[in-house]
Amino acid sequence: MTDAMPGKSASMMIVRAIKELRALLSAQRSAGKTIGLVPTMGFFHDGHLTLMRRCRERDGVVVVSLFVNRTQFGPGEDYQEYPRDFERDTRMAQAEGVDLLFAPTEHEMYPAGDATFIEVAGDLTARLCGAYRPAHFRGVATVVTKLFSIVEPDRAYFGEKDYQQLLVVRRLVRDLAIPVEIIAVPTVREPDGLAMSSRNSRLGPRERQAATVLYRSLLKAQALVRGGIRDASQIVAQVRDSIAQEPLVRLQYAELADPETLAPVERVAGPALLALAAHVGGIRLIDNIIIGG
Amino acid sequence: MTDAMPGKSASMMIVRAIKELRALLSAQRSAGKTIGLVPTMGFFHDGHLTLMRRCRERDGVVVVSLFVNRTQFGPGEDYQEYPRDFERDTRMAQAEGVDLLFAPTEHEMYPAGDATFIEVAGDLTARLCGAYRPAHFRGVATVVTKLFSIVEPDRAYFGEKDYQQLLVVRRLVRDLAIPVEIIAVPTVREPDGLAMSSRNSRLGPRERQAATVLYRSLLKAQALVRGGIRDASQIVAQVRDSIAQEPLVRLQYAELADPETLAPVERVAGPALLALAAHVGGIRLIDNIIIGG
């Protein structure tokens, strides 16, 4: 089933069914075009649009998937409240030259009796966000693997804002020998440094202002490292102290980890991931930078 | 890396590396040929050869994978003792007109740091063999999914002797939207009815004779059903009684189950799976039939 684009020249197709998507992509593949995939949960911002542009530069067909994936939300998390605006998303994607917007139904992605999931074991899913969202990366790994089966992309584009997700996807692609190249795209930030996130739209004005402390705390930690401090506990303490000064922000974790394995880092001797998660008002935000590189 | 066939016209290629296999298959796919996959653990018998023939009849390229998959064996199971004869297998596959024998190394299938697995939850993996081999179907699901990623077959062929495995594979293919058609091929039996299995080669002469009770017990149960008996406990009791008369055989389970979901069947009102597992000497064998259909 295909929806026409209201009031636009219909250069972008909106596809709901796997079968139709496959038929369209098969024709494009036969014509020698490479296929790029940008997996999203919608409510697009400049981070998503940057992924679409990177994809548009390299691939013959740009496929954007839009699916708010219930299985990566835990009980009590914001699946219901996650922002959605399909009309706006379709306009934005079309303006970026997206060829196919794949917006499957729940049933198309999780047919009745669905019982299969993908698990990436170990530090990659147990640490950082995985410690606080126990089934999150299982849900991510499962939906991403399904999307790869459905789209069979040559390349798939992921933002570094979700750094841990990027590592999990890289690992499952390697372990399962999925023939797709994963392209990491740097975090896109607001002018005041806040990492772009669909969830930012849910912040009130005071929370939106308070949220800027997250990136500022990362930059202060980076300055410490550049000043010669190598001890992880000192660096993390700097992040904690910065954030403690902002009463609207409650830090969930700030950790230094190996940027490949996510193993804990005691002392910064090379590139290290500094990652954090915090609640701003009721909204959970994440951010990260690589320091010591 | 490719091994030449010793003393044969080299029509079958033996491929060890995923990368080489992909290059070969990509060329065949571009030439418009369909690709069929027969996944095996080697030590071929007529059951395997029948799968290869079905594949040869339908697909332009016949790929047989040969990999004794450690992750589907539990602690104390027969991974070490599982029969292997690569020279004989290559001769038999070549004689069947197999195009590519994919015999990957352990490291090729499970690279260092491998951490990803596929789980099919619920009755399909918890019941029957799953109750006695807790990680078995996880290992099967993972290796089969990897093989599908590597070979990207149009069709894959599985024997009904491993009926539960067939259901698990069908389910994961559906749930993960993997674009492959699963072809089920009926169990091939010895003249005396014993279901062919690589493990039969490990039976001594007395055990080999005793093992015939398995299929005989299934046929007796089928006769009961044809005679009007519908109560599952009576039917299963018939199997137990038959097998109890053979002192070399120790039944592990005999159960009636829904042939699609493996849910327990109390009363045979349509097609039902009658499945069993038993140890004959130290060797675990399985068999099944559909009754009441």
Residues of A in contact with B118 (CB under 8 A): 116-119
Question: Which chain B residue has its CA at the smallest distance from A113's CA?
Answer: B175
B94 and B23 co-located in one domain:
yes
Please judge whether A175 and B115 are an interchain contact, meaning their C-beta atoms are less than 8 angstroms apart. Answer: yes
B206 part of contact set with chain A, CB < 8 Å = no
Does residue B120 sit in the same domain as residue B147?
Answer: yes
B176 CB neighbours in chain A (<8 A) are 116, 145-146, 149
Q: Between A and B, how many residue pairs show a Cβ–Cβ distance under 8 A? A: 75
SS3 B71: helix
Q: Is residue B245 part of a domain?
A: yes
Mean pLDDT in residue range A264-276: 97
pLDDT value at residue B280: 98
CATH label of the domain that carries residue A242: 3.30.1300.10
Is A32 touching B (CB cutoff 8 A)?
no
| Interval B134-155 mean pLDDT | 98
Does some domain include residue B144? yes
| Mean pLDDT over the full length of chain A | 95
Identify the pLDDT of residue A7: 38
Q: How confident is the model at residue B10 (pLDDT cuts 50, 70, 90)?
A: low
Instruction: Tell me the pLDDT tens digit for each residue of A211-254.
Output: 999 999 999 999 999 999 999 999 999 999 999 999 999 999 99
Domain assignment present for residue A60? The answer is yes
- B240 found inside a domain: yes
Find tokens 């929370």 and name the residue: A207
Give the pLDDT score at A190. Answer: 98
Q: For B50-66, what is the mean pLDDT?
A: 98
Any long-range contacts for A289-293 (C-beta under 8 Å, 24+ apart)? A289/A218, A289/A219, A289/A222, A290/A259, A291/A221, A291/A222, A291/A225, A291/A235, A291/A256, A292/A225, A292/A230, A292/A268
Give the residue from B127, B151, B185 where a domain finishes. Answer: B185
pLDDT at B293: 75
Q: Is the pLDDT of residue B158 over 90?
A: yes
* Residue type present at position B211: A
Q: Do A211 and A203 meet the contact criterion of CB atoms below 8 Å apart?
A: yes
A171 vs B: CB within 8 A: yes
Which domain does A79 fall in, by range? 2-185
Say whether pLDDT at B5 is over 50.
Answer: no
Q: Cα A133–A139–A143 angle (5° rounding)?
A: 150
* Residue B1 pLDDT > 80: no
CATH code, domain carrying B128: 3.40.50.620
Query: Domain ends where: B145, B163, B185?
Result: B185
Question: Would B190 be classed as within a structural domain?
Answer: no
Nearest Cα neighbor of B43 from B236, B242, B197, B271 is: B197
The pLDDT of residue B218 is: 98
Same domain, B114 and B224: no
Look up the pTM and report it.
0.95
Tell me the shortest Cα–Cα distance from B172 to chain A, in angstroms.
6
Q: Is the Cβ of B135 closer than 8 Å to some Cβ of chain A?
A: no
Q: Are residues B132 and B45 in the same domain?
A: yes
By three-state DSSP, how is residue B171 classified? helix
pLDDT in tens, A198-221: 999 999 999 999 999 999 999 999
Tell me whether A176 touches chain B (CB under 8 Å). Answer: yes
Q: State whether residue A132 sits within 8 Å of chain B by CB.
A: no
Q: Quote the CA–CA distance of A118 and A146 in Å, as a whole number.
A: 10
**Given a cut of 50, is residue A8 above it in pLDDT?**
no
User: Is A116 within 8 Å of B175 when comparing Cβ atoms?
Assistant: yes
Residue A2 — very low, low, confident or very high, per pLDDT cuts 50/70/90? very low
Q: What is the mean pLDDT of chain B?
A: 95
Determine, yes or no, domain membership for A171: yes
Instruction: Please tell me which residue of chain A has the smallest CA distance to B176.
Output: A146
Q: What DSSP string describes B14-50?
A: EE--HHHHHHHHHHHHHTT--EEEEEE-SS--HHHHH
Angle among Cα A161, A165, A171 to the nearest 5 degrees reads 135
**Record: contact B111-A145, CB cut-off 8 A:** no
Which residues in chain B have Cβ-Cβ distances shorter than 8 Å to A154?
Answer: none
Contacts of A172 in chain B (CB under 8 A): 116
- Do B82 and B119 belong together in one domain? yes
A174 and A265 in a common domain: no
| % chain B with pLDDT above 90 | 96
- B158 with B271, same domain: the answer is no
Indicate the residue among A185, A208, A239 that finishes a domain. Answer: A185
Q: Do A121 and B116 touch (CB under 8 A)?
A: yes
Set of chain A residues whose Cβ sits within 8 Å of the Cβ of B115? 120-122, 124, 171, 175
Query: Both B89 and B164 in a single domain?
Result: yes
User: Could you give the 3-state DSSP secondary structure of residue B100?
Assistant: strand
Residues on chain B touching A119 (C-beta within 8 angstroms): 116-119
3-state secondary structure string across chain A: CEECCCCCCCCCEEECCHHHHHHHHHHHHHCCCCEEEEEECCCCCHHHHHHHHHHHHHCCEEEEEECCCHHHCCCCCCCCCCCCCHHHHHHHHHHCCCCEEECCCHHHHCCCCCCEEEEECCHHHHCCHHHHCCCHHHHHHHHHHHHHHHHCCCEEEEEHHHHHHHHHHHHHHHHCCCCCEEEEECCCECCCCCECCHHHHHCCHHHHHHCHHHHHHHHHHHHHHHCCCCEHHHHHHHHHHHHHCCCCEEEEEEEEECCCCCCECCECCCCEEEEEEEEECCEEEEEEEEECC
List all residues 6 or more positions away from A32 whose beta carbon is below 8 Å from its beta carbon.
Answer: A60
* Contact across the interface for A119 and B121, Cβ inside 8 Å: no
Whether residues A109 and A81 fall in one domain:
yes
Q: For the segment B20-39, what is each residue's pLDDT rounded down to a tens digit?
A: 999 999 999 999 999 999 99
Helix (H, G, I), strand (E, B) or coil at B63: strand
Kindly list the catalytic residues of B: 48
Residue B171 within a domain: yes
Q: Do A181 and A221 belong together in one domain? A: no
The domain tally of chain A equals 2
Chain B 47-86, residues with CB within 8 Å of chain A CB atoms: none
Q: Mutating which of A154, A175, A180, A181 best tests the B interface, going by the most B Cβ atoms within 10 A?
A: A175
Are the Cβ atoms of B150 and A177 closer than 8 angstroms? Answer: yes
The predicted structure's pLDDT at residue B49: 98
A117 in the same domain as A36 = yes
pLDDT tier, A10 (very low <50, low <70, confident <90, very high otherwise): low
Which pair of structure tokens corresponds to residue A105? 């139904």
Residue A204 lies in a domain: yes
* Å between B177 CA and nearest CA of chain A: 6
Q: Select from A116, A149, A152, A173 the residue whose CB has the most chain B CBs within 10 Å, as the one to mutate to test that interface.
A: A116
Whether B177 and A141 lie within 8 Å, measured CB to CB: no
* Whole-angstrom distance, CA of residue A125 vs CA of residue A129: 8
Same structural domain for residues B24 and B140? yes
At residue B7, does pLDDT exceed 60? no
pLDDT digits (tens, 9 = 90+) for B159-168: 999 999 999 9
User: For B65-110, what is each residue's pLDDT tens digit?
Assistant: 999 999 999 999 999 999 999 999 999 999 999 999 999 999 999 9
The residues that bridge with A61 in the sheet, in sequence order, are A35
Q: Is A178 on the interface with B (CB under 8 A)?
A: yes
CB-CB neighbours of A202 under 10 Å = 19
Sheet holding A155-159, edge to edge: A2-3, A13-15, A100-102, A61-66, A35-40, A155-159, A181-185
Contacts of B112 in chain A (CB under 8 A): none
CB < 8 Å to B22, chain A:
179
Quick check: B122 contacting A, CB < 8 Å?
yes
Provide the pLDDT for residue A293: 75
- pLDDT single digits (tens) B166-218: 999 999 999 999 999 999 999 999 999 999 999 999 999 999 999 999 999 99
